[in-house]
Structure 1
């Protein structure tokens, strides 16, 4: 069981950060959890997100493990080791940013930096019982991140504490509005299928918050999931095709890559049509609601035993992946659980309103910033701007 692939000490400051090993750190190889990249040369420069993190005064303490080539949802990795799930040790940590989620859940770091192409921040966040933010597509630079080109992938943070996550975003993103002031949000609950215990927990949280809510539908959700699968298959195959020739790619990822090779131009064209239609559908619903609410996961994570036996579960991303297609910001929020299973909900906001999603989350879980905390967050934001 391996959470970190290497331990580092870069930068200063009390807040510790781990960085997913698809993100370049100068002087260290970027191996993406794959034996096919075991001999990769050290990166010659920091990725943009690493530069921003160090500039903001954070201390990078390690590179985090992941599902190989960031192309899987379980977090299982036969070559680099599978990160344990600190809070739910019989369950998978989720993928692909498994190490980033496990590191913050274990207290090894205050912030885990991950990437999210189809739920790869939010799914492990939900599995490990921490917060995970997929920012608006394009908000944070992907320069220096594998794969080099993606129309779905986002860099984003994970944390045990929502205030810590917000402070990090304010420190690294000059356009993130750090003020948590604002009126009570109007919530739109998306009618989706999920296990009853998950919905019961969400309903309880909504009821306790006292926030105004309404019910909404997104008829294209299922089509958006399938369309996002088509696009990730095409883009990941193009990025990783050459690695198949090494014969060193793990069996599960090799199988997915070979299947992805069959993606047709016609399928891609249809997927792009669905992307446009679903994005418009989400935008329209958000004209009437400040944020949308739904579960992060449709069902509970599988056990390690099942995952090591070879079971796959791409459907665990069915409620997360559509919002990679549309590009809207999405935050996974852990909920209190009376059982030995993780519970979480997801908030979706207007494109560009990442701070609004975080503000709504604070109000929804009853963690509004005090005047002192708001001032501190603002100071971090000002420091990041010089």
Structure 2
């Protein structure tokens, strides 16, 4: 361990001050100032009982804490303003320090220190209270109070919207998650139809929330603006591309995230963060004023903390005359599952999904689902990706070509592959898409398909890129089916695996959006 540079003088002490305690505290602060990860690991007690909490959530166990530190970019320079020690016994003490960051404000650190069998003082529990940021730039690009007031009073009066940075808002620019794109953008002369619908129902716009670049990702790790927090899985990815709206809602900074879903960009962050998320029926909500990625699959949707707010937002935006029941006439709603979809998930999600459905069935909340064949999943994903890539390049390829080096590595790689799309292959994929859609229509005839919303819980932010890409492919195997059929898909925060949220996804026939929310709400209320 490095020798501490400064031993602060306590402002107050109760009890006999144990030898070496303040030296250990100063050593910890010195390691923090230099971001010495090995030393910080040594200052924290080993094992699964060590705790570290902050505004983003609780980390349990030395390994989780170490992983969090390894993923962050550095630490904030600070001094110690005051130090208070409360001795519990000769081997345990609580230290509360008030720190003064060089950038201003004040922070608070509360630690339980214990003396190990080897005679070393180590932290067993730490609670960090940093100075509050006015705006978290990983979550928000612009924030107002409000940014745009409600246009009228209605069912959404008092609700606030985090608008994904793809929608036009009159007087503001669209940044699409990319600083170079933002610099060249012109202010919108009209407000997007999906934003206007919520404003007309009484909600106000809190601000413009970050997105993964051009919505071409489901991880939530924007290389330019940073990764938004996942309040339910500290140190975990938030899910994208609707990462900003999802984080804003999960953090309680907005009650509605107005988002988009092409290949899972609502359902994945909803699953990772324990939110309600609805991808609407393709074309059911006007996409005027929305920057496209792949128009054949792009949909409007919403993220909320409760089903009631989600239903009100959807009802304000959907044409009620087109909404239908998920069941056939005079017949009860039927459900379906696919073994292939379950096996596409990792072991933890498989276990919690199977156990969760069994629990709902035994409780009488869910009739026994039919086992269905959804076809060749690898082929379905190949078809989806072929058309998505072709359309992504048509929508944004000119800008990408004119701005070499402007994209983050992962998104740049996807656009590079998309640039090589063969028109003949695209045409062939569209024929295959029609056949895949017909098969899925038969599966969803009078049924709701049940599946996990994502193939895993939220991956760690510091997982290697290859592992994240493998998770992405597995998740797209699940999420692309709704895109292929243009179906509504609802993620319900119903399950957990090892304390991490796992969404239950309900995919229904086209225009059953509101019916899915009602069914999901009943399942959640009765669990």
* TM-score scaled by length of structure 1: 0.88
Superposed displacement of residue 269, structure 1: 1.9
Return structure 1 stretches of 4+ with deviation > 4 angstroms: 176-184, 307-311
Is residue 2:418 matched to residue 1:274?
no
Structure 2 distance, partners of 1:326, 1:178, is: 16
Task: Judge which range, 46-55 or 259-268, deviates more.
Answer: 259-268
Is residue 2:465 matched to residue 1:299?
no
Structure 2 distance, partners of 1:45, 1:307, is: 42
Superposed displacement of residue 22, structure 1: 0.6
Deviations 1:108-150 (A, max 9, x none): 1111011111111111111111111111100011100012871
Q: Indicate conservation of the 8 Å contact 2:326/2:512, yes or no.
A: no
Provide the residue aligned with 1:114 in structure 2.
Answer: 259
Q: Indicate conservation of the 8 Å contact 2:221/2:227, yes or no.
A: yes
Provide the residue aligned with 2:64 in structure 1.
Answer: none
Q: Indicate conservation of the 8 Å contact 1:220/1:278, yes or no.
A: no
SS in 2 for 1:38: helix
Q: Indicate conservation of the 8 Å contact 1:234/1:263, yes or no.
A: yes
Provide the residue aligned with 2:354 in structure 1.
Answer: 203
Deviations 1:11-49 (A, max 9, x none): 233111111001111111100111221221111110011
Q: Indicate conservation of the 8 Å contact 1:74/1:95, yes or no.
A: yes
SS in 1 for 2:277: strand
Superposed displacement of residue 237, structure 1: 1.2
Aligned pairs, number: 367
Structure 1, unpaired ranges of 5+? 369-386
SS in 1 for 2:371: strand
Q: Which has the higher contact order (CA 8 A, sep 6+)?
A: 1
Provide the residue aligned with 1:190 in structure 2.
Answer: 338
Task: Judge which range, 151-160 or 30-39, deviates more.
Answer: 30-39
Matches within 5 A, 1:79-98: 79-98=224-243
Superposed displacement of residue 200, structure 1: 2.9
Superposed displacement of residue 367, structure 1: 5.6
Q: Which one of the candidate residues 221, 229, 232 is aligned to 2:388?
A: 232
Structure 2 distance, partners of 1:177, 1:256, is: 36
Task: Judge which range, 252-261 or 200-209, deviates more.
Answer: 200-209
Q: Indicate conservation of the 8 Å contact 2:259/2:302, yes or no.
A: yes
Q: Indicate conservation of the 8 Å contact 2:213/2:411, yes or no.
A: yes
Q: Indicate conservation of the 8 Å contact 1:83/1:93, yes or no.
A: yes
Q: What is the RMSD of the two structures over their aligned residues, measured on CA atoms?
A: 2.4
Provide the residue aligned with 1:260 in structure 2.
Answer: 418
**Greater C-alpha Rg:** 2
C-alpha distance 70-266 of structure 1, shift in aligned 2 (>3 A): same
Structure 2 distance, partners of 1:161, 1:178, is: 22
Structure 2 distance, partners of 1:310, 1:188, is: 30
Is residue 2:161 matched to residue 1:4?
no
Is residue 2:408 matched to residue 1:250?
yes
